[in-house]
Every structure is written in C-alpha cells, then in structure tokens.
C-alpha cells in the first residue's frame, strides 16, 4: 500500500496536536505502510500513544535487491567529491528543518541539549564527512591506499592497493537512544564510500528517525535506491545479504552476538560491525586532590555523564575510579551536584534530566540496578521516592540518578559486568594507579575511558595501561578542559568502537570508517599499467614529454604521466655561500671545511633547501600562465648529498590531478600533484618529493 505525503507537519508524531498514526517504511523508492496489529509507541514523558510501527507484508529481499540493482550503481557512478557534496547539501537541508526534529525529539524524553547531541550532532557527521571526502579522497570513484610496493629488482613489476565500494547493501541496525545521530553517523561514511543503505532504527524511537529520514527523501538529493527505511521488525532481511554486503549493528551485546552468528552472516562472511554495551570508566588521578581544577572537572563530568540523556548513552561513565584518599570528598561533591539535578518534563523550565526513552527501559534498568545493588551501597538516589517536575511519575518513563559505591571493587563482578542503561554509576576506590588500571580492564573492553590528571606521567601510565581495552581515551587537565569535547561524545574524526565486550567494532574515525564499506584489493602489474588504472603516476611508469612546458597547460590539458626533464646546473661553492647569506643558515656542514671533513659528509655539502630552490629554478616557467600558485610540498627526502661541482637535473611528472569544486568569486582550479626527482651527474637521485600546485581550469560545470 503506498500513501502520498501530505503536508510536512501533519506527518510528525509526538508533537502537540498530532494524532497517532502508523509509521511508514521506505521501500524500493516508495512509502509503504505495514499491515497487521503493529507495535504501539508511546510518548516518554506523558505515556500517551503517539504512533504504531509495523513491517508486516514487506518483502525484505526485494529491498536488498533494489539497493543492489538501483542504489549501488547510481552511487558508484559518482566520485567521492560528488558524494561528499551530496552529503553537504543534505546536511544543509536537514539543518533548515531542524526545528521539526527538535519538536519530535521531545517525545523521546530528550532535553533541548540531549536533542542537540542527537540531531545536530548527527547532521554534524554529514558535514564532517562532506569535508573529509573532498580533502582526503580523490575526485575518483575509487581510493588508492598506500604507496607503490616494489616487487621486482628491475622495477617492471610493482603492486598497489585500491579500495572500491562493495556492490551489495549496507544494513544499519541502530539502538533506541540516538534515533538521529545513530542513523546519520552510519550513513555518512557508507554513502561516501558509494554503498546504498537500509536503515533499521530501534522500533521504540523510530518515529523520530522516520521524521528525519522523510526529510532526506523530500530533499531529493540522494539518487534512487541510496537509502531505504524499516520502522519495526526487520524480518528475514539478513537472510538476503551476500558477501558484498555489510551490517553495522548498535545495541546490546546479546542481540549483537545473536545476529552476528546468524546463518547467512556466517555462511556468506558478511562484514559485521558491532557496537555494543560498554562499562566505560572515568578515573581521577592520584595528583588531583580536593582544590585542584582536575578534581572539580572530574566531578562535573561524572554528573554530566550520568544525567545527559538520562544516562542512556553507550559512552556514559558507568565506573568511576577514585583514589581512596579522596573518596569521601568526591562522594560529597558528587552528591552536592546531583542534588541540583531536577528530573521531569524537559519542556518545563529548570528541568535538567528527562525520562528514559520508554517504560520498558525503566523495568530493564531496574533489573540491572537490582543486580548491582547486591554488591554495592547507595550513595545517592532513591528509586521509590523521587520528585518529578511537570509530569506524572507513573505514566512517564522516569528514573532518578543513582550513585552506587563498591567498597571492594576487585571482589565484586557486577559493577564490571552489568550495564544499567540509565543514570546509574558505581564509585570504586583504588589505592595505586596500577590497581586502577586493572579495574579499568575489568570492563573486558569498552568504548571509552577518561582520566582527570595534571600529571603527564600518570597520563602516560594509564593510557598505555588501558589502551588495549578501549576504543577511545580522553585525558583532561586544566589546559585542555575548556575545549574538551567531553567523555561521552564520539567524533567523526576519531574511532568509535571498542574491543571485546564493546563489540569489537570500529565506526567513523575519518577515512577508516569509509574504508569499512570498501574492498581493499592488491593490484600487481607494470608501473605504466598501474598508472593507467589508478590515475596516479607510479615510479617507473612511462612518461610523456611534450614541446609545450607543463606550466603552460590548463588543468584539463595536463595528463598523469606528462613530464618535463629540465636543463642541468652545476652547483658551485659560490652557490653555497650565497645561499647561506640569503637564508642565514651557516650550518658547519655547508660552511666549515674542517668540521665538514669530520662530519658524515666528509666535505662541504650544498644546503638541501638550496637543491630544492635550484630545482624549482630549473623547472619553473616564469611567465604568467595557468599555474596559479605553489600549494605545498610533501614527502620530501634528501637521498644523497650534493657537493660543489656536482651537476643536478630535475624531472617533473604529473602525479595526480584533483579538480576543485567551483566557488563563488574564485578562479576555477584544480590541484596538480607533481612528482619531482632531482638527480646528479651519475643519475643518482639526490632529492625526491611531491609538489602541489593550483592550476587554472578552462571551464567547469556547477558542481565539480
């Protein structure tokens, strides 16, 4: 059954004045309503029914097929830069409609700042990948990974790694706590890689995911088949995946393990990335006694992590490790701060913490707390008696902040094993830093750990001691605190994931997250063949010389492999003396005959920077032309010394071309990377590097 989209706001659920409706699934380019009874979804604050979800009757196999046949080819035709610009445009579009999403997000129990993390944090990952996609990937449909590997003595047979998009579908299964960020942080690297995705949010908060997903479809910016949506059970979806597919799962370890070991995943070797529960630690350093800035920063962070999103964050601090000497003071400071946390309806002024996402969660967290309580004492919080402002405690999914204390954390297993996915935290004392490290590891693998210390020796000991068990470690002191992004914030630039119990997965992390959705293939052949395949000059490949100087050519006229072999120049002692005078570099190896004789060079040598400058003098064509500027220099190596009397000659070869997008008021241009080799009279390489120039384009279309 297909329904048409009426007005925007009439589709939103959970907002004042809206009627409950059945959520829709986006299947093969159409909005489809599932049949049957469906699952009721409720407002987290009022407990009122706001929507139903159902996927009954959906042909999941056809969704995978559609992604494979329609979405994949369309995305693979686009270059990284085109995909990145698409992400940027969608992000801008979503920002223009963010108020709608905030309105719906309130139904999940989120405060304004909780919603900000979810909505704008999610859109932020699109922006971040849009910019990385253009800076760190070529304007090609594939990615060349790493340098050329020399495989033969004569250099006629070499190897290179390329990464190409998987040709199947990516299935994204998300947890309920970040209905927007969870979707967007997975979509950004997937779509940038050129792989279509089927998004399956957790049913309980899928109404918010549906609202944002609908906006993405309405933007019209994604090609057909790039994204599809399931609100409700995913049925036999995983059964249809093959070895070209990938699953990214976020949720509980139990569900993750079950799905990861399902028949089709195992038999087809489907890539399965898992982000699961994690008992993250935060540690106060031995040096951070009462009165130090680190002590205060630690207390603030622990309480913030307990109460942001009512503690329903995979990265929240669950285990708080404190030197036993300051335990009392830490307890007092935490209690004082927790006392200012008003629980209630986030719409009411002054409320700092909202409810859990749904009633079912209250029972879940209670169960975990019961297990923790068997081995801990309560420092703060009362599950049976707590105030709720502006809402009915029984109808909404409210849960108070709860601080527990494990007196002997080495003897108790529960605080290291049981994740209460709410505003719950266990304090643990430690005697020596090495004990704290052992306690941190007892989580058996976590997403994140944090340390508050102004002692960099402690920082080093704790980071190296706990890194193998953690995906991310944050060290905070008085210098970094102001600009710190916080213990609980995964960032698109950094790896999100953790070993062992945390799922063993890795998301985002800049380029790394994109490569998860690509196949890395080693390609072997002659340098010229590889240059032709990769569009990148490979050392040893055939070069083309032309009568026209390459600096006289426009971006479009240059081809990878175009080369210039310069005239020669003999380096004299006068060159060295003059260069020392101009640069002020009188290093003994250039200027002091006796000291140079005793040095590794055995006699005076030319400055390396003189060799670079002289090479530029040999290859530059001075008259105004298409070359706009020298943009930088990379991978410079001075391979051999240049002595007075040596004769140098440079070879300049177009290594790689990257068209830049057109910007208002800017000359159309592209970046040309040039391979430069400087050789001496014996044909030995004395310097090798890559220079980057901005070269004018003749013409270009609007987008690229």
CA distance 134 to 84: 6
Contact 538, 527 (CB under 8 A): yes
Total number of residues binding ligand NAP (CB under 6 A)?
25
529 binds ligand NAP (CB under 6 A): no
DSSP H helical ranges for 588-653? 588-591, 593-598, 608-619
Residues between 249 and 268 that touch ligand NAP (CB under 6 A): 250-252, 255, 259
Nearest to 38 by CA among 50, 55, 24: 55
DSSP bridge pairs for 31: 26
Written as six digits, the tokens of 267 are 């038999």
314 binds ligand NAP (CB under 6 A): yes
Q: Please, which residue, 46 or 489, has the CB nearer to ligand NAP?
A: 489
Catalytic site residue 231?
no
Name the 3-class secondary structure at 22.
strand
275 binds ligand NAP (CB under 6 A): yes
462 binds ligand NAP (CB under 6 A): no
Q: Please, which residue, 251 or 346, has the CB nearer to ligand NAP?
A: 251
In the set 314, 506, 507, 677, the catalytic residue is 314
- Which secondary-structure segment (H or E) carries 406? none
**Which residue minimizes CB distance to ligand NAP?**
251
CA distance 175 to 275: 10
Q: Is 93 left (phi over 0), alpha (psi -120 to 50) or beta?
A: alpha
Residue 575 main-chain phi, psi, to 5 deg:
-55, -45
Name the 3-class secondary structure at 583.
helix
82 binds ligand NAP (CB under 6 A): no
174 binds ligand NAP (CB under 6 A): yes
Build a one-symbol-per-residue string for 22-61: x at contacts with ligand NAP by CB under 6 A, - elsewhere: ----------------------------------------
Written as six digits, the tokens of 329 are 């003071």
CA 166 to chain CA mean position, Å: 19
- At its nearest, how many Å lie between ligand NAP and the CB of residue 531? 41
Give the residue carrying structure tokens 């990861």.
260
536 binds ligand NAP (CB under 6 A): no
Instruction: Considering only the stretches 55-63, 174-182, 397-405, 673-681, report the one whose residues sit in contact with ligand NAP under the rule CB under 6 A.
Output: 174-182
Burial class (CB in 10 A: 0-12, 13-18, 19+), 627: buried
Q: Please, which residue, 275 or 536, has the CB nearer to ligand NAP?
A: 275
Give the residue carrying structure tokens 């992400």.
87
200 binds ligand NAP (CB under 6 A): yes
- At its nearest, how many Å lie between ligand NAP and the CB of residue 262? 8
How many other CB atoms sit within 10 Å of the CB of residue 635?
Answer: 9
Give the residue carrying structure tokens 């299947």.
27
Catalytic site residue 275?
yes
Q: Please, which residue, 286 or 368, has the CB nearer to ligand NAP?
A: 368
DSSP bridge pairs for 673: 656, 692
Nearest to 490 by CA among 275, 191, 233: 275
In the set 82, 275, 301, 461, the catalytic residue is 275
- At its nearest, how many Å lie between ligand NAP and the CB of residue 41? 10
447 binds ligand NAP (CB under 6 A): yes
Instruction: Considering only the stretches 198-206, 339-347, 462-470, 600-608, report the one whose residues sit in contact with ligand NAP under the rule CB under 6 A.
Output: 198-206
Binding-site member from 60, 399, 421, 537 for ligand NAP (CB under 6 A): 421
- At its nearest, how many Å lie between ligand NAP and the CB of residue 502? 6
Contact 307, 401 (CB under 8 A): yes
Quote helix, strand, coil % in the chain, to nearest 5: 35, 25, 40
Residues between 204 and 233 that touch ligand NAP (CB under 6 A): 204, 233
351 binds ligand NAP (CB under 6 A): no
120 binds ligand NAP (CB under 6 A): no
Residues between 481 and 520 that touch ligand NAP (CB under 6 A): 503
Alpha-carbon dihedral sign for residues 397, 398, 401, 405: negative
202 binds ligand NAP (CB under 6 A): yes
Residues contributing to the site for ligand NAP (CB under 6 A): 173-177, 200, 202-204, 233-234, 250-252, 255, 259, 275-278, 314, 419, 421, 447, 503
**Positions marked active-site:** 275, 314
């Amino acid at each position: 059954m297909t329904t048409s989209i009426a007005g925007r706001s009439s589709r939103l659920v959970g907002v004042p004045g809206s009627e409950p409706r059945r959520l829709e699934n986006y299947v093969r380019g159409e909005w489809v309503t599932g049949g049957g009874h469906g699952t009721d979804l409720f407002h987290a604050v009022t407990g009122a029914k706001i929507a139903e979800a159902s996927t009954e009757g959906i042909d999941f196999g056809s969704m995978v097929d559609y992604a494979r046949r329609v979405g994949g080819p369309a995305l693979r035709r686009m270059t990284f830069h085109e995909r990145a610009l698409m992400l940027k445009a969608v992000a801008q579009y979503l920002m223009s409609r963010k108020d709608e999403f905030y309105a719906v997000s309130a139904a999940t129990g989120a405060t304004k700042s909780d919603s900000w993390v979810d909505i704008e944090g999610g859109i932020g990952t699109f922006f971040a990948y849009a910019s990385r996609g253009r800076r760190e990937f070529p304007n090609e449909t594939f990615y060349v990974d790493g340098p050329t590997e020399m495989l033969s003595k004569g250099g006629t047979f070499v190897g290179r790694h390329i990464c190409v998009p998987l040709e199947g579908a990516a299935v994204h299964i998300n947890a309920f706590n970040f209905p927007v960020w969870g979707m967007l942080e997975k979509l950004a690297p997937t779509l940038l890689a050129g792989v279509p995705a089927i998004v399956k949010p957790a049913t309980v908060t899928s109404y918010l995911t549906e609202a944002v997903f609908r906006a993405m479809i309405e933007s019209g910016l994604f090609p057909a088949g790039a994204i599809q949506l399931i609100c409700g059970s995913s049925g036999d979806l995983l059964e249809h995946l093959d070895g070209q597919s990938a699953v990214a799962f976020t949720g509980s370890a139990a569900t993750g393990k079950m799905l990861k070991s399902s028949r089709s995943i195992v038999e087809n070797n489907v890539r399965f990335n898992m982000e699961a529960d994690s008992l993250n630690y935060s540690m106060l350093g031995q040096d951070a006694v009462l009165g130090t800035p680190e002590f205060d920063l630690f207390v603030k962070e622990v309480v913030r992590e307990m109460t942001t999103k009512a503690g329903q964050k995979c990265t929240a601090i669950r285990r708080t490790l404190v030197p036993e000497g300051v335990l009392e003071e830490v307890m007092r400071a935490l209690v004082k701060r927790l006392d200012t946390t008003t629980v209630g309806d986030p719409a009411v002024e002054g409320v700092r913490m909202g409810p859990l996402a749904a009633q079912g969660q209250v029972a879940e967290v209670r169960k975990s707390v019961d297990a923790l309580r068997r081995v801990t004492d309560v420092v703060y919080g009362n599950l049976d008696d707590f105030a709720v402002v502006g809402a009915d405690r029984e109808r909404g999914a409210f849960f108070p902040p709860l601080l527990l204390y494990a007196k002997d954390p080495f003897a108790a297993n529960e605080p290291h094993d049981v994740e209460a996915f709410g505003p719950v935290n266990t304090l643990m004392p430690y005697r020596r830093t090495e004990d704290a490290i052992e306690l941190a590891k007892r989580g058996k693998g976590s997403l994140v750990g944090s340390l508050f210390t102004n002692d960099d020796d402690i920082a080093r000991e704790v980071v190296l001691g706990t890194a193998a068990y953690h995906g991310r470690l944050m060290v905070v002191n008085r210098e970094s605190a102001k600009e710190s992004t916080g213990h609980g914030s995964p960032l698109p630039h950094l790896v999100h994931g953790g070993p062992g119990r945390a799922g063993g997965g890795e998301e985002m992390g800049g380029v790394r997250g994109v490569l998860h959705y690509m196949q890395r293939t080693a390609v072997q052949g002659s340098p010229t063949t590889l240059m032709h395949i990769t569009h990148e000059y490979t050392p040893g490949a055939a070069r083309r010389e032309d009568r026209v100087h390459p600096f006289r050519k426009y971006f479009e006229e240059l081809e990878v492999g175009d080369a210039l072999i310069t005239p020669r120049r003999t380096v004299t002692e006068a060159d060295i003396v003059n260069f020392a005078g101009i640069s002020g570099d009188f290093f003994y190896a250039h200027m002091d005959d006796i000291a140079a004789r005793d040095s590794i060079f055995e006699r005076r040598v030319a400055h390396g920077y003189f060799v670079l400058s002289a090479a530029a003098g040999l290859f530059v064509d001075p008259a105004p032309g298409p070359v706009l500027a020298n943009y930088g220099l990379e991978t410079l190596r001075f391979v051999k010394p240049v002595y007075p009397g040596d004769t140098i000659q440079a070879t300049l070869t177009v290594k790689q071309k990257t068209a830049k997008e057109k910007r208002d008021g800017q000359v159309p241009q592209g970046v040309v990377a040039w391979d430069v080799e400087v050789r001496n009279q014996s044909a030995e390489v004395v310097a090798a590097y890559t220079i980057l120039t901005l070269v004018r384009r003749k013409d270009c279309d609007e987008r690229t």
